[in-house]
Chain A
Amino acid sequence: MSESFHNDGSLRIRVTTPQQARAPFRRVFRELTANAGHASVLAWSLFRRDISAEHRQSLLGYFWLLLPPVASTLVWVFLTSQQVITLDSAGVAYPLFALSGTVLWTAFNSGVMATLNALSGARMLLPKVNFPHEALVYSALLKTGLEMLIAALLVGAAILLLGYELRPAFALFCLALLMNTIVGAAVGLVALPVSSLYPDISKGIQFILRFGFFLTPVIYAVPASGPARTLMLANPVTPIITTGRAWLTGSGEAMPAAFAIVSISSLGAMIGGLILFKIALPFLTERLGS
């Protein structure tokens, strides 16, 4: 497929042929930048639409966003306090340790699911209306961003409630939260085209996320040695979670170099995933359309 846009006077010309453009990535990148204005306005409108529609119908609203990390933290705090299980929290008070870990994990999780499901709400539109489809991804990211903002406020409130000092490094924790969302978004975006064709992919990812929780240092610290440590260090989410938490609590293992590497490559992967999404869309519309 090749599609090229250029201007002839005031009219935009679109040529579509089945031939391969010599550089589909460059073409789509140009298209993304050309559409940026309309796409961002549309993304904002979709974002507001979805938020207000969700909000209007629900009685508890944003409470549902806060509930999972709080509930999960409470469960782990209860289990450790009753000594049902013993988890190493690297010297940090366990409630704060578990809450910050869970919130960081949720950021990754939401990033994956938001982008993976970016098309599901727009299935009806795809074969009918031509609009800058990247707006769907942008609005999904905006929604996740809002969730993370609320989560950050929750952590801040928890710190004050538990009687700790809210240090300036809290800003770095928020950065880690953002980065983990981006790592998740990159994973979701890269998987999106194939998972739109085959729902198995999305099911598989959800399965991995469910068990990945236990193999990621979310509710416990990275062990000092052994195969478990090797396994966890191979996990790209580990440096973000442990470093973010170390910044927040002021103790524990920080991995700033790994943090930087994962962040930069995820940003790259996310942009690559967006381009992939644009290239894939006509193929998806063709196969899924009605």
Chain B
Amino acid sequence: MTEPSLVVAEEISKKFCRSLHRSLWYGLHDLTSAILPWNREDRGNATIGQPVRALRREEFWALKDVSFELRRGDCLGVIGHNGAGKSTLLKLVNGLITPDTGRLTTRGRVCALIELSAGFNPILTGRENIYNQATLLGFSREETQRKFDSIVDFADIGDFLDTPLRNYSTGMAMRLGFAVAAHLEPDVLIIDEVLAVGDISFRFKCMNAIGQLLQTSAVIFVSHAMPNIVRLCSELMVLDRGQVTYHGRDLANGIGQYQALFSGAPQAVSGSGEIVIRELTIQSGESLADLGGTCAVAHGADLRFTVTIDAAEHLEGTRVQFVLWNSEMLPVLDVVASNLEGTYIDLAGARRASVSAYVRQTELNSGKYSLSVIAEAQDHTRTFCRHDNAAYIQVNAETTSGAHSLTVAEWSHEELSAS
């Protein structure tokens, strides 16, 4: 017999109110109607598949009709912009708030790794805080004592164990928090962006610990870091303003949809202004985009950037280069000349020039990338023009890889005898 699902969400929704005063007033109203037996007119019909009570003034659906089911070993990744409803979903699963429609069932111990230092007291020592935090999270005294050494070992805070927490760095407090939480044995585990703080080695440690917990629990994982999502999750949910826009096991597709949600930042021009961009085109096969546009590119396809610049009278020349940024604002590709710098353009003859760069076989992985055009002095001492978010490219690759780029190699192998 297989174990029943540990989390079952059936069309759960949650409303929120924009105005503070109304929100408090609705809260009071909801509270009284929960207590007073004669004041229940409007909550009774909020079952699955039936109409729900309409939104009141200034209310909106923070989460609308979300359904999913998780078994032990499943990991649901939840991605979306700020305000998409991710935290609301986590609070619902954690049992901190109740849904306005639908039904939510959890089985077993639910544990949340959300802001791990919540609950710490700054005046008490690390040791005391470990005991207090463990009690808060539901450890018994014996359980804490049994796991204490392992917790201290994991947190790796050395001599600071008996120092008041207020003398810890933010990262150290985080480590302590994670160390305690990682020793829980949850059936349902909720993780929200806790890996954002801490140095690289600790982040690796966290990922490994989560990987271990994953095998014995059902996990809901909220993150903005796509590599982590790809590494941990077995299915993905994309939220956009409370609505589920994608839910399935095709991670690449989901991430692509999430990245396509970026409307893109507005174009931004900085620099001395001695060079101005007149025109810009990005072309890949049939797809073409100009300033502010988006060019769809298949993985492995060729790509051409063309820019027309106007230069001020006195300039003799400039270096031009293109930079592609991913949705996490990391530069992932510099388009340079063979000397690994921007290409040099002699402007002595004309005030206007058209510059073109041809990139063969784009190795970028799926995602939306923003283009910056940079024109600077040959010795890099002065930037004439820096045009950010000048245009976008949307790469589509059929892959589950979370890497930034995918390179197609020429592979070979030979058989070796074993003696």
Contact = CB atoms under 8 A, between A and B. Distances in A.
A125 B98 contact: no
A8 B137 contact: no
A140 to B, nearest CB: 16
Given A16-B99, A38-B138, A285-B97, A11 B108 contact: yes
B104 A279 contact: no
A146 interface: no
Interface stretch (B117-125, B198-206, B315-323, B356-364): B117-125
B27 A130 contact: no
Interface stretch (B88-96, B224-232, B242-250, B392-400): B88-96
Interface range, B side:
35 or more
B54 interface: no
A127 B96 contact: yes
B118 A16 contact: no
A285 B107 contact: no
Contacts of B40: 20
Contact of A42 (B91, B136, B187): B136
A49 B131 CA distance: 10
B46 A18 contact: yes
Nearest to B24: A197
B95 A15 contact: no
A130 B119 CA distance: 12
Given A15-B105, A41-B141, A53-B124, 9 more contacts: A16-B98, A20-B34, A24-B35, A56-B123, A127-B91, A128-B118, A194-B31, A197-B27, A285-B96
B28 interface: yes
A160 interface: no
A289 B135 contact: no
Given A3-B98, A41-B141, A131-B137, A283 B34 contact: yes
B162 interface: no
B112 interface: yes
B303 interface: no
Contact of A129 (B26, B98, B105, B136): B136
B128 interface: yes
A125 B118 contact: yes
B100 interface: yes
A126 B96 contact: yes
Interface of B: 4, 23-24, 26-28, 30-31, 34-35, 40, 43-44, 46-47, 91-92, 94-110, 112, 114-115, 118-119, 121, 123-124, 128, 131-132, 135-138, 140-141, 187
Contacts of A1: 34, 98
25 contacts: A1-B98, A11-B107, A15-B103, A15-B104, A16-B103, A17-B99, A17-B103, A18-B99, A18-B102, A19-B43, A20-B34, A49-B124, A50-B121, A126-B96, A129-B136, A130-B96, A130-B110, A131-B137, A194-B28, A197-B27, A198-B28, A280-B34, A286-B97, A287-B26, A289-B96
A122 B124 CA distance: 16
Given A49-B132, A131-B137, A14 B96 contact: no
B313 to A, nearest CB: 56
A28 to B, nearest CB: 10
A231 interface: no
Contact of B98 (A13, A18, A42, A50): A18
A18 B100 contact: yes
A45 interface: yes
A248 B107 CA distance: 55
A8 B105 CA distance: 13
A57 interface: yes
A85 to B, nearest CB: 43
A107 interface: no
A13 B107 contact: yes
B411 to A, nearest CB: 48
Contact of B27 (A12, A17, A286): A286
Interface in A95-137: 124-131
Contact of A45 (B35, B112, B118, B131): B131
Contacts of A289: 91, 96-97
B91 A285 contact: yes
A52 interface: yes
Contacts of B108: 11-12
A19 B47 CA distance: 8
B114 A128 contact: yes
A124 B94 CA distance: 15
B27 A284 contact: yes
A63 to B, nearest CB: 19
B115 A283 contact: no
Contacts of A179: none
A18 B43 contact: yes
Counting from the closest, the 7 A-B pairs by CB-CB distance are A287-B27, A1-B98, A11-B108, A45-B135, A53-B123, A286-B97, A18-B46
A246 to B, nearest CB: 39
B20 to A, nearest CB: 9
A280 B46 contact: no
A68 interface: no
B91 A16 contact: no
A193 interface: yes
B105 A14 contact: yes
Nearest to A275: B35
A282 interface: yes
Interface in A41-62: 41-42, 45-46, 49-50, 52-53, 56-57
B237 to A, nearest CB: 19
Contacts of B98: 1, 3, 16-18, 282, 286
A177 interface: no
Contacts of A131: 136-138
A187 interface: no
A240 interface: no
B398 to A, nearest CB: 39
Given A17-B103, A289-B97, A283 B91 contact: no
A279 B118 CA distance: 23
Contacts of A126: 96
Interface string A176-217: 000000000000000001100110000000000000000000
Contact of B97 (A8, A42, A282): A282
